[in-house]
Amino acid sequence: MQKIHVAIIGTGADGLSVYNLLKGIDNVEIACFVKLPGETWEDDYLSKEGMTIYRELDKICELKNIAVVVNTVKHPEVEENLKKIGGSVSIIETRAVHLMVCLFREKQELLENKRVQGELSIILNSVQEAVEVADKNGVIRYVNPAFTKITGITSEERIGKNILEISPEGALAKALRTGKNVSGRRSTVGGSNAEVISNASPIMVDDCMEGAVVVFQHFTDVMRLMDELRQRTTMIENLSDKFGQVTTCKYSFADILGNNPELKKCIQVAERAAQSNSTVLLLGESGTGKELFAHAVHHASPRRDKPFIKVNCAAIPENLLESEFFGYAKGAFTGAVKSKIGKIELAHGGTIFLDEIGDMNLNLQGKLLRVLQEMEFERVGGNQTIRVDVRVIAATNRNLRELIRQGRFREDLYYRLNVVEITVPPLRVHKEDLPILVNNLVVKLNRKLGKKIKGLSKDAEEILYSYDWPGNVRELENVVERVMVTVDEDTLTKNNFIQYVSQLKTPPERDMELLPIDQMEQILIHKALAKFGNTVEGKRRAARALNISLATLYNKLKKVKSEN
């Protein structure tokens, strides 16, 4: 088929519209464009299309194969020059062009409307909520498939009926009557037993109501969603509570400073224990760093990325300790408006550190024993058994064996806790570690207090060595910080420490040469225990210092007790 070659005059909006209209016709070929002076044009678009563009109207006359010239520019001079083109060339004038453009644009709008309607139909047919549309007179014009699914009424049975007659109390009828939005209306669909929750809105065009639309869900679906929402809300609240209480370990074995052989031995035992799940019992005087060891054991264990939960058994009232440990169920007691997760459940997968375990009451000791043996428990006021996987580290500065003899600590719990026993030595038995401890404190406190203290003088070191530090490392930290807060010098001296570490004056001792041997033994034993402590490990060191066996020491203590 021979192609019809067309030239278009004008590169404005009308020229482009004609181009888009003609380029889709198979036997039409756009030969060129003519751009007139002062005319705006789509240079990039036409260039990408590969169009030839002339700036002079006479160029058309030179083209022998042009069959049609389309003039999109209403200009007298252009129209006069077009009359000079002779031969068989057809001239389409501006008025005809305008008609072509209008038809083209109307066709494009119809295509666009058809596309939008198709997309809208797909969307409405795919949604899970029922959709129903009525015109301004109440005649139903559309229902989607979800409407039939929820109500059981087909589109054929519904379309064409009047909503004001078949469902006058529904949300759609109310929106039509009032011209206002209707939200959350609970009603029964007319012609059906389906109870629904509806939202309806009027359809406004140029401020005139042309109809209304309603969207609704089955009431049972809404209730199910509300139940799921409540469950998710409860879950979020529990996770929020859990997140607020979960902590991680702060220290590692690198933070335990000292070169004392006894301290090193404790670290070695703790490092080996960290690789297992065995329960660890930390013994020692207050302030020796038992909590530091607990943190380090967790940090070195395979559970390091899991929670590390600390419970101070002496700091929580007995009547609250059980709910702190195990949590409580909603309604377990007055004020329990929601369930609470306990410390043991928070520690699931990780470690729970029970500080001051010697102060736990006997009733709770029995429940803790069950957790250690069975790894399960119930919340206070609940009946659901909860299984957990926790590693227990306990610590105390009390003599648990003595508490067992007094009936204040369960022997079975003691043996369950005392799988790996670590007795942290008091500071007075490893004073050789004072320099490294003090230097580390000075560095940390310089950052904290904004100081530039370089260290201690010789006389300051001597007075620290002469003191027995009954409060151990905790007391040392307190004293060094108190001194650093008050001084302005860059070196700490004896005078800075003297008021804080003066030894308590002891009464003058009696002349030992005049004492009986048994009394001398009692004095020496008393001094040894005062120095090394009354723990099992303290007694072991006291016996070693007195050059007697531990059994002999116990016998002498038992003898003194019976005589008194």
Kindly write down the DSSP assignment for every residue of 355-410, as one continuous string.
ETGGGS-HHHHHHHHHHHHHSEEE-BT---EEE---EEEEEESS-HHHHHHTTSS-
pLDDT value at residue 226? 65
Q: What residue type is 259 in one-letter code? A: N
201 in the same domain as 69: no
pLDDT at 506: 40
Answer yes or no: is 238 within a domain. no
Same domain, 302 and 385: yes
Do the Cβ atoms of 46 and 53 come closer than 8 Å?
Answer: yes
Report the CATH number at residue 436.
1.10.8.60
> Is 196 inside any structural domain?
yes
Q: Are residues 319 and 381 in the same domain?
A: yes
**How much is the pLDDT for 270?**
94
- The one-letter code for the residue type at 161 is K
Q: Is the pLDDT of residue 114 over 70?
A: no
Distance CA 299, CA 295 (A): 6
Q: Is the pLDDT of residue 437 over 80?
A: yes
What pLDDT band is residue 460 in, cutting at 50, 70 and 90? confident
The candidate with the shortest Cα–Cα distance to 246, out of 334, 345, 158, is 345
pLDDT surpasses 80 at 426: yes
CATH number at residue 39: 3.40.50.720
C-alpha span between 529 and 285 (Å, rounded): 13
Of the candidate ranges 93-102, 301-310, 396-405, 532-541, the one whose mean pLDDT is the lowest: 93-102
CA torsion, points 495, 498, 500, 506, in degrees to nearest 10?
Answer: -170
pLDDT value at residue 143: 86
557 against 510, higher pLDDT: 557
| Rg, C-alpha atoms of the chain | 47
269 with 402, same domain: the answer is yes
Indicate whether 198 and 320 sit together in one domain. no
Q: Of 28-42, 91-105, 202-216, 318-332, which gets the smallest average pLDDT? A: 91-105
492, 517: one domain = no
Within this chain, do residues 145 and 48 fall inside the same structural domain, yes or no? no
Establish if 228 belongs to a structural domain. Answer: no
What is the 8-class DSSP label of residue 504? P
Q: What is the dihedral of CA 247, 249, 250, 256, to 10 degrees?
A: 160
pLDDT for res 95:
62
282 shares its domain with 297:
yes
Residue 395: which pLDDT band, with cuts at 50, 70 and 90?
A: very high
Of 124-133, 388-397, 416-425, 477-486, minimum mean pLDDT range: 124-133
**Pick from 562, 288, 272, 253: which is nearest to 424 by CA?**
288
Pairing of strands 280-283, 340-341: unpaired
Q: Which pLDDT score is estimated for 43?
A: 62
At which of 423, 444, 464 does a domain end?
Answer: 423
In percent, how much of the chain has pLDDT > 90? Answer: 19
* Per-residue pLDDT tens over the stretch 152-161: 888 888 888 8
pLDDT of residue 509: 47
Give me the chain's average pLDDT, please.
81
Quote the CA–CA distance of 418 and 409 in Å, as a whole number: 13
244 pLDDT above the threshold of 60: no
Residue 239 above 60 pLDDT?
A: no
Q: Do 493 and 359 share a structural domain? A: no
Residue type, 125: N
Contact yes or no for 200/214 (Cβ under 8 A)? yes
125-132 long-range Cβ contacts below 8 angstroms, 24+ apart:
128/217, 129/215, 129/216, 129/217, 130/196, 130/214, 130/215, 130/216, 130/217, 131/213, 131/214, 131/215, 132/158, 132/163, 132/172, 132/213, 132/214, 132/216
Predicted confidence at residue 218, as pLDDT, reads: 75
Report the range of poorest mean pLDDT among 108-112, 357-361, 535-539.
108-112
Residue 400 has pLDDT above 80, yes or no: yes
Residues 299 and 418 placed together within one structural domain of the fold: yes
Q: Is 30 among the domain residues?
A: yes
Q: Which of 97-101, 159-163, 506-510 comes out lowest in average pLDDT?
A: 506-510
Q: Are 216 and 237 spatial neighbours (Cβ–Cβ below 8 Å)?
A: no
For residues 391 and 393, what is the distance between their CA atoms, to the nearest angstrom? 7
Residues 478 and 519 in one domain: no
Position 513 pLDDT exceeds 50? yes
Asked if residue 305 has pLDDT above 50, the reply is yes
| DSSP one-letter code for 300 | T
Which letter does DSSP use for residue 322 in this model? H
- Look at residue 260 and give its three-state secondary structure: coil
Strands 376-378 and 385-387: antiparallel
Instruction: Count how many residues are written for the chain.
Output: 564
**Structural contact between residues 78 and 10, judged by C-beta atoms closer than 8 angstroms:** no
Average pLDDT of span 416-425: 93
Of 395, 396, 476, which Cα lies nearest the Cα of 431? 476
- Best-predicted range by mean pLDDT (76-80, 120-124, 177-181, 226-230): 177-181
The domain spanning residue 151 has which CATH number?
A: 3.30.450.20
1 or 141, greater pLDDT: 141
Whether pLDDT at 221 is above 80: no
Q: DSSP label at 349?
A: T
Residue 94, pLDDT > 80, answer no
Q: What is the mean pLDDT of residues 317-340?
A: 76
pLDDT at 52 over 60: yes
Residue 506 lies in a domain: no
In a domain, 241, yes or no: no
The domain containing residue 198 runs over which residues?
Answer: 128-221
The total number of structural domains in the chain stands at 5
Q: Are residues 305 and 408 in the same domain?
A: yes
Per the domain annotation, does 297 fall within a domain? yes
Last residue of a domain, one of 501, 520, 542: 501
Does pLDDT of 407 surpass 70? Answer: yes
Whether residue 230 lies inside any domain: the answer is no
Higher pLDDT, 188 or 480: 480
Write out pLDDT tens, residues 354-366: 999 998 888 888 8
Q: What is the CATH number for 288?
A: 3.40.50.300
Taking CA atoms, 114 is separated from 110, 111, 290, 371, in Å, by 6, 5, 78, 70
In angstroms, rounded to a whole number, what is the distance separating the alpha carbons of residues 358 and 346? 22
Per-residue pLDDT at 105? 66
Q: Is the pLDDT of residue 86 over 80?
A: no
Residue 241 pLDDT > 60, yes or no? no
* DSSP character string of 5-68: EEEEE--SHHHHHHHHHHTTSTTEEEEEEEPPTT----HHHHHHTT--EES-TTHHHH-TTEEE
